[in-house]
Structure formats: C-alpha cells, structure tokens
Chain A
Amino acid sequence: MSYTIALAGNPNCGKTTLFNELTGSRQRVGNWPGVTVDKKEGICKKDKELHITDLPGTYSLSPYSAEEIIARDYLVKEKPDAVIDIVDGTSIERNLYLTLQILETGVPTVIALNMMDEVEARGDEIKAEKLSRILDVPVVPITARSGKGIGELLAQAAETARGKKTPQKLLVFDEKLQRVIDEVEKELESSGESDSAWKAVKLLENDENIAAGISEELKNRIRKIIGKAYGSNEDPEAIIADQRYRYIAKVVKDTVKKSAAGHIETKSDKLDKILTNRILALPVFACIMYLLFACTNSENFLFLGIPSPGIWLAGLVESVWGGLTGVIEGLLGNASPWVYSLVIDGIMAGLGSILGFIPLVLVLYLLISFLEDCGYMARIAFVLDRIFRRFGLSGRSFIPLLQGFGCSVPAVMATRTLESEKDRKITAILAGFMPCGAKLPIFALFVSTLFADSNQTLVTYSVYIFSIVTAILVSLLLNKFVYKDGASNFIMELPQYRVPTLKSVFIHGWEKVKGFAVKAGTVIFVSTVLIWFLSGFNLDSFNGKNAAENEDGSIMCEMNDSFMASVGNVIAPVFKPLGFGEWRPAVGVVTGWIAKENVVVTFAQLYEEDVTEEYLEEYFSRFTSEELEELGFEGGAYDSEAAGDIYSESVLFEGGDENALPHMKDDIKTKAAAYAYMVFNLLCMPCFAAVGAMKRELKTWKETGKAVGIQMATAYAAALLVNVVGGLFL
C-alpha cells in the first residue's frame, strides 16, 4: 500500500529543501519565490510506502500564475492522502492564510513549522502544541535545511495519511458569512457537486476557475443567495479575506511570542539599503555582473595578469584530455584506419573540443547559483523593473533571462512564473537569445581562431552585449507589433538574505557536471559518430569504388565528396549573404540545433586536417624577423623544416590558440563573416530540448513555431547586418 503526501506552502518557505531531505533527491533550491515551477515526485527514503510530491509555491488556492495553478489542481483534484503544509515560521501570519484554505478543502493535513533556526535566532517563540490544539492538526517545528525535526514530522505525516484524519472545520467566519456559505454548500450538494464545502467558499470569493465548472443555472441560484445576504456595495471576497486574517491574528496572538514589538531592523534591511538603493543599486549590479564574467572567462583576471578560475580549470582539463588521447593513440597503433579515424578524429577530437569548456560553464553556473541562493535575485528583478518596463517587460523577466546564461531549458520553464501572457511569450523568445553555456565554446573557438590578433576578451564580451542589445530591441519590436497587451505589475516578496550552504552549492555544481556528462555520453556522443560517418563516407564507400581507388584500401572518401558535403551544399547558399555560404559552417548551424555544443564538435571534426606547408608559410608570414627569431627560427629567417615543430609549440604561447582550427579561415574569410556566424548561432533557434520547453510553456505548436520563426528571422537579420556593415570596417 502506498500513500501520497504533497508538500504545499507559500513560495520560498522551504518545500523543496524538505523534499530533498525526505527523498534524497537534488531538486533545485533557491532563495526567491518561484523556484519550483512543476510538481516532482519522489519516494521517501525512510518509509518507502510514502510517495512525496513537491509542488510549486502558492499564496492561496485561487491561483494567479501558471505554476500556482499546478499546485492548486494537485491539491484539490488529485487529492493526496495527506498534505504537509509548510509554514515559514518567520512570517507565520501570512503563511497561515494558505493554511486555512488548505484546511477548508478537508484534506488530511500536518503543519510543518519551518525555519525554526531563524525563528530562534530572532528570539521569538512559537507554541506548536497550542497551535496544534487550535487548528486541530499536528504541528511539528522543523529546520528543513539541517534536517532537524524531520523524523517527527514524517511520523506524524505517515499516521495522518494512513488514518485519513480529515481536519475539523474551524470557526473562522462570523455567523452571517458562515450561514451564506452553508446555504451555497447545500445548493451545490443538491446538484451533485463534489467538494461542496470548499467550492462554496471559493464561489463567494469569485473564483472564476470554480465558477466555470458549474452550470449557468446553478450559478444563478447561488448568485441569488449571495445577493440576498450582501448588498451591491459589499464585497464578500474582501469580507472573507478580512475574516481569515482576523482569525489568524487571534491565533498568532495566542501562540507566538515575539522578542520585540514592531519591526526591528535586520541584516537583510541593512543590505537592502545598499543593494536596492535608489542610486547605488544599478552600479552595484553592473559590478556583480562584470565579476561574474571575469571569473568565468578572462585571460587577464581582474587585470591581475592571471587567468580567471574558469580559464585556469579549463586548461587543466584540456591537458588531461590531451594526455588521454595520446595514450589511446598509442593503444590503437595497429588498429585499422577507420577505427583509428573514428576514435581519434571522431570521438576524441569531437568530445575534446567541448570538454575544456565544462569548467567555464561550471564556474559561471556556480556563481549564478550563489546569486540565486543568497536572495539577491528578487532584489535585482525589482531594481531592474523600471528599466525592463521601458522595453515592455516586467523586472521578473530578468530571472529567466539570467538563467538563460546557464541553460535555455530551465530559463524557458521559469517564464511560467510571469503573470502576464505577453511577458511569458516574449521572455521565452528572448531566453533563446542568451549566450547559454553550450554556446560558449562557439565563441571561444571563433575568437581564438579568427580573432587571434584582436583583444579576445573584448570580442567575447561584445558577444554578450550583442545578445542583450538584441533582446532589448526585439522586445521593443514585439511589444509594438506582435504581442500588444497592457503592462503588467510587479509584485514580489523579497526573502531574507541567506548565506548559501556548501551543500546546496555542491549540489548545483554536481548536477551541472552530471548533466553535461550525460549529454556528452548520449546526444553529443551519437552526434560525433554521426558527423564522423556522414563526413567520411559516401555511396561509393559501399559499392567498392572507394576501396579500389584508395591506396590503403580504405572505404572512406574525401570530405568534400561525403554525404555531409552533399547535404551541406544544398543549404549553404542560404547563408551566402551572411558571409559563410560554405557547406561546413552550414552543417555546423544544423547540428547545433541538436545541441549547441555540436557546432564546435562539428568544426573540430570537419576542420581537423593536417597543417600543410603552405599554411605554415602563411601563418609565419605575419611575424617580423625579430619575432621569428624569438619564436626559434635561427637568424630570424623562415625555415620550412623547423616550421612544423615551432608552430605546434608556439601556438601555445598565444593563449587558447591550441584550440584553433586554422582551416576555418578557408571558409570564413573575413572577421565580419566570423562575427556574423557567432551572432547567427547565438540568436537562431535554440537546441531541440529548449524548443520542447518552449512548446510546454506556449502550449501550441503554432505559437511555438511563431516564436522560433521570430528567433530565426532575428538571427538572419542580425547576422546579415553584421556581415554587411562589418564588411565595411573590418
């Protein structure tokens, strides 16, 4: 026999923290309201019969945004065997408002009084037993973050679920209101409606969702009942809210002992004086964002002359991978040429080309996690609201967009918390413009190969700025021409600032690395093998022609005659105006839709050809003779014999150049074209996983198609502009 237990409560009260503690899962926790946007199921570690469901947070059972609907529907439609209602002990009055509504539904309930560590630190006291007696449900004080009190909570929840202990009706409302509710309830009951007691209250509260579920005729009868009791200048909805809060105030007065009357200034208030200050807020934000990228991706970290932590780690990973490739190369000494080609040129080169970027993405991701965990997200959303409003969005859109710097999939999902449909649609499109972790390797590859003689860090930053400027412009255009709709409001609770726990930082990092390993082992691995096959074979591989022609009897073909070249040549002309109308870059764009990492994987495989004598001569021709001498040419004269060795050593000095694929220059000839290519991949359709997420948020394929169309059009227009205008200057 198994029992389902749902975790419900206000946003940010610690539901997911408790869920992780109970089930041993690693769901995302963050210190801002609206982290969880979908229900998640798990099995309790200590009692396998208990199936726990984590829900999005909600302030009431009359939902306001999409993720709150999920929470409400689960509670009232799927009817769990018990609900653990998590109440943030530091704001108990507001939290109990939802509790009363949960109790009204009659579902077996246990209250978990969370954040007891903070309650105690403030010197407040909550009499749990007394609260339990008043509300007639078990009340267990816990600290979800440390696990304190969870054993007792679990015992109570299990007992409540097994015993199906429905809570008693509380006397929340005054006589008159209760009488009207009872009448409506009877009316509903006689019409065969289920959950009539709870629905009666919701109908008085004007809940459209419930009203939509009953017949017009019944609605009229109910309207009459309400109309008889309350005049047109009275608002039953407000009366209900008022009476609930009054009831709660009484309960709180009896059960909570505050250390001080009124509001005492906390550390959070002091921090807010700076971080949301009318003058300082934006400069501080700019510094934080700069630091974020400096730590991730900078050769000259904070102008100290050392590489940033991200770059440093990346170097480490690359040298390990290089060593590993060497070892495998040795082992494959006698293997047949195609096996060697598959393993070394295909898999090792393909995966190796992106492996080095994991540390970059990891560092960026950990820093974003830090911002999410400390409580700054809600603040910056607020501070940016005024600016975002000018572009036709609300400050809340900042949260999905920042997440887009990590990965588009959670970013698109996070748009669910936006209250207005217009904001949701626009933000889902803009999220695809963000330079997600998987696009990072594209920029790095291009910068190190085609912008080798420019200020590389500056070029990389300029791509970030390009993405933000594009997002702003597109948002303005969409507001003006496509999604015309009124402005939305900004209402957001600002949580306490909290010091992120090591555990949660570790979880975030680990999840990211694990996610990448899984992706590399599945989607990207299969892609590398496919790319290797499609770029090394053609029809003649299988009718013996290649084998007869090739000296070594290999059935592989020249890359330019491969399957991939044939297909690439068909689509390439589309990109001609953008400056990269050759088959290799065209194929890169397409494989990028499977996973953005694939762009670099594809390039690594398609451009990994031997460095020829001609190439070396051209490469060294840009140095003066003094420089040539410094590089190791005797007497400063170019020497084709020594060039090969010197090249492979010297490129290492240029920082990052060892990733360069010199032959890219054959297809992408100008800097304008190179920049256009980066811009196109930055803005065009995100990977299929993200498109899937867009479909989930936008509901229909039609809307999704429209959104992707807008992304594609933006990418094409921007890349064209870059190639044409850039061509005049670069």
Chain B
Amino acid sequence: MALAMMEIGETREIKSFHGKEEVKRRLQDLGFVKGEYVQVIGENPSGLILLVKGVRIALNRGLASQIIVA
C-alpha cells in the first residue's frame, strides 16, 4: 500500500518508490531505502511527519503516495 495511507503510530517497511529519479535519490539520501522502517508520527492536511532513522521528516501527501510500503 502507499505510505500516504498509513495512520499515526503505524510503522511499516519501505518496498519501492514510483516517481522521478532525482526525487528517489533525495529520498535515499534522507534514509528512505528499501527495507527501512518508517513510522508515521504526525499528520495534517499538508502531509505526513515521518520518523526515519531517528530523524523527523515531513513529506507532502502527493509524494507520500508514491512510496510503497508493506
């Protein structure tokens, strides 16, 4: 499912990313790699606040729906 569908408090594993190459690289630089676990710690109309490798990262919803988790 898409990361954008996750609920607050949920933790899931990243499977893949469907989007532009350079955005994918940026996400990798920030720790979004296949097999990594992300936790949703906040949510508002703009998007989600995620915890990846102990760092808080905010993503807009459009981008979060391009990340597939399991």
21 intermolecular pairs with C-beta atoms under 8 Å apart: A59-B29, A64-B26, A64-B29, A94-B55, A205-B25, A206-B21, A241-B29, A241-B33, A242-B33, A277-B44, A278-B44, A382-B58, A385-B47, A489-B59, A490-B59, A490-B63, A491-B23, A492-B58, A493-B55, A493-B58, A494-B49
- Asked if B36 and A245 make an inter-chain contact with CB atoms under 8 angstroms apart, the answer reads yes
B22 to nearest A CB, angstroms?
7
A479 within 8 A of B: no
Please name the residue on chain B nearest to A395 by beta carbon: B46
| Assembled-state Cα–Cα distance A278/B40 (Å) | 14
Q: B21 contacts which chain A residues (CB < 8 A)?
A: 206
User: Distance (Å) between the CB of B65 and the closest chain A CB?
Assistant: 11
Which B residues are in CB contact (< 8 Å) with A378? 58
A263 vs B39: C-alpha distance in the bound complex, in angstroms?
9
Specify the chain B residue showing the minimal Cβ separation from A385. Answer: B46
B residues lining the A interface (CB < 8 Å): 21-23, 25-31, 33-36, 39, 41-47, 49, 51-60, 62-63
Q: Which residues of A contact B25 (CB under 8 A)?
A: 60, 62, 64, 205-206, 237
Which label, helix, strand, loop or mixed, suits the secondary structure of the B interface? mixed
CB distance from B53 to the nearest CB of A (A): 5
Judge whether A389 is part of the interface by a CB distance below 8 angstroms.
yes
Spot the interface stretch: A146-154, A266-274, A424-432, A707-715: A266-274
What residues on B are CB-neighbors of A60 within 8 Å? 25, 29
Chain A interface residue count, Cβ-Cβ cutoff 8 angstroms = 43
Q: Which residues of A contact B22 (CB under 8 A)?
A: 64
Which residue of A269, A384, A489, A495 contacts B41 across the interface (Cβ within 8 Å)?
A: A269
Q: A90-B54, A263-B39 are in contact. Are A383 and B28 (CB under 8 A)?
A: no
Within 8 Å of chain B (Cβ to Cβ): is A16?
no
Name A residues whose Cβ lies closer than 8 Å to a Cβ of B: 59-60, 62, 64, 90-91, 93-94, 97-98, 205-206, 237-238, 241-242, 245, 263, 268-269, 272-273, 276-278, 281, 378, 382-386, 389, 394-395, 487, 489-495
With a cutoff of 8 Å between Cβ atoms, the chain A residues found around residue B39 in the complex are 263
Complex alpha-carbon distance, A492 and B31, angstroms:
13
Interface pairs A-B: 8 shortest CB-CB: A490-B60, A59-B29, A278-B44, A60-B29, A385-B46, A494-B56, A382-B58, A241-B28
Interface centre among B21, B27, B35, B56, by most A CB within 10 Å? B56
Q: Contact check, A94 vs B62: say whether CB atoms are below 8 A apart.
A: no
B26 nearest CB across to chain A (Å): 5
Q: A93 to chain B: which residues have CB within 8 Å?
A: 31, 53-54
B51 to chain A minimum Cβ distance, whole angstroms, is: 6
- Whether A490 lies near B58 (C-beta < 8 A) is yes
